[in-house]
Amino acid sequence: MTIEDIHKHLKETSKSVTQEFKRLFHGRGGLYEGWRHLTIDSIDSILSVALYFQEPLEDELIEMLVAFTKSSDYETLVVQRRYIKGTASEVLVGTLSEDTYALENSIKIKVNLLSNRNSGYFPDMKIGREFVQKNAKDKRVLNLFSYTCAFSLAAKIGGAYEVVNVDMSKGALKTGMQNHSLNELDPRGISFLPYNILKSFTKLKRKGPYDMIIIDPPSFQRGSFEATKDYEKLIKRVEELASEECLLLACLNSPQLQSDFIIDMIQEFAPSFSYEKRLENVAEFASVDESRSLKNLVFKK
């Protein structure tokens, strides 16, 4: 695929954009030879580009993106070079507000597009959040590894009775509070707990039992969580947190681990839960090997 091919792809995929977030080009899925390092997102009037490692044609690519932005309805072009640690993203066209947010099914989620790392929003989890919104009515929801609390937004908008958000990062939880305010959600019944989850089961049990439990950990975060050894610790305790008819959404975004990694673990350590289904992924995030892509697995007690 050439840079001219990417230009044609952008012209085509941007025809249907609205104010809602849309991934225009997903190189990370491996479907486009030579472009695994590139993603391009549409965020209202912003074109947001991420480069995960450096390739020889980067200057030519950037030149094309600048020209495309100026000839389109986009007002701003932001480029994030994730392979350069500690470097802020660059605004190459237009300006960027500090109050930028992405829209997902009309839900507002704050994004920090100037960060060199995660923006505060994981768009590939959209269908997981839709599932939560559709199934949260009148439920007490436990949102583990809540990050900026996007699942909590979906749960409350879906009519959840209570949501308990748990994450070690106080900064992420602060953004989560701002996200709830941004969506004008009643703060009653929403908790933001800066706990180390693996050391806080007793505290969480006191607030339960929970009718829906969401486990959405990082695959690997130094000093915090490593899926291959720590996911089991969560599954071994999940039954004592669950109500009699609890729904469990167990998420895994490690390409090295398959769905059976969690399914087998549930069968062994939480046998009261039965496997229901794996949620489909967002079409725009298609991968050459779907078994290695994001796993959103639904279980029911």
What torsion do the CA atoms of 225, 276, 120, 190 make, to the nearest 10 degrees?
Answer: -90
Asked if residue 116 belongs to a domain, the reply is: no
In terms of C-beta density within 10 A (0-12 exposed, 13-18 middle, 19 or more buried), how is residue 290 classed? middle
Asked if residue 115 belongs to a domain, the reply is: no
The CATH number of residue 265's host domain is 3.40.50.150
Nearest of 57, 3, 56 to residue 25 by alpha carbon:
3
Q: Is the distance from CB of 122 to CB of 141 less than 8 angstroms?
A: no
Tell me: do 69 and 21 sit in the same domain: yes
Asked if residue 117 belongs to a domain, the reply is: no
Q: Which two tokens stand for residue 262?
A: 């969690």
Q: Which two tokens stand for residue 260?
A: 């059976």
Among candidate residues 76, 110, 144, the one where a domain is terminated: 110
Q: What is the pLDDT along the chain (301 residues), one digit of tens a residue?
A: 999 999 999 999 999 999 999 999 999 999 999 999 999 999 999 999 999 999 889 999 999 999 999 999 999 999 999 998 878 899 999 999 888 999 999 999 999 999 878 899 999 999 999 999 999 999 999 999 999 999 999 999 999 999 999 999 999 999 999 999 999 999 999 999 999 999 999 999 999 999 999 999 987 566 668 888 889 999 999 999 999 999 999 999 888 889 999 999 999 999 999 999 999 999 999 999 888 899 999 999 9
Asked if residue 284 belongs to a domain, the reply is: yes
Task: Give the pLDDT confidence score for residue 87 in this predicted structure.
Answer: 82
pTM for this model (two decimals): 0.94
DSSP string computed for 28-59: GGS-STT-TTEEEEEETTEEEEEESS--TTHH
Total domains in the fold of the chain: 2
The CATH number of residue 9's host domain is 3.30.750.80
Domain span at 197: 123-300
Residues 6+ apart with CB under 8 A from 295: 251, 252, 253, 257, 258, 259, 262, 278
Task: Give the pLDDT confidence score for residue 221 in this predicted structure.
Answer: 63
Q: Is the distance from CB of 119 to CB of 112 less than 8 angstroms?
A: yes
Tell me: do 168 and 275 sit in the same domain: yes
Tell me: do 185 and 279 sit in the same domain: yes
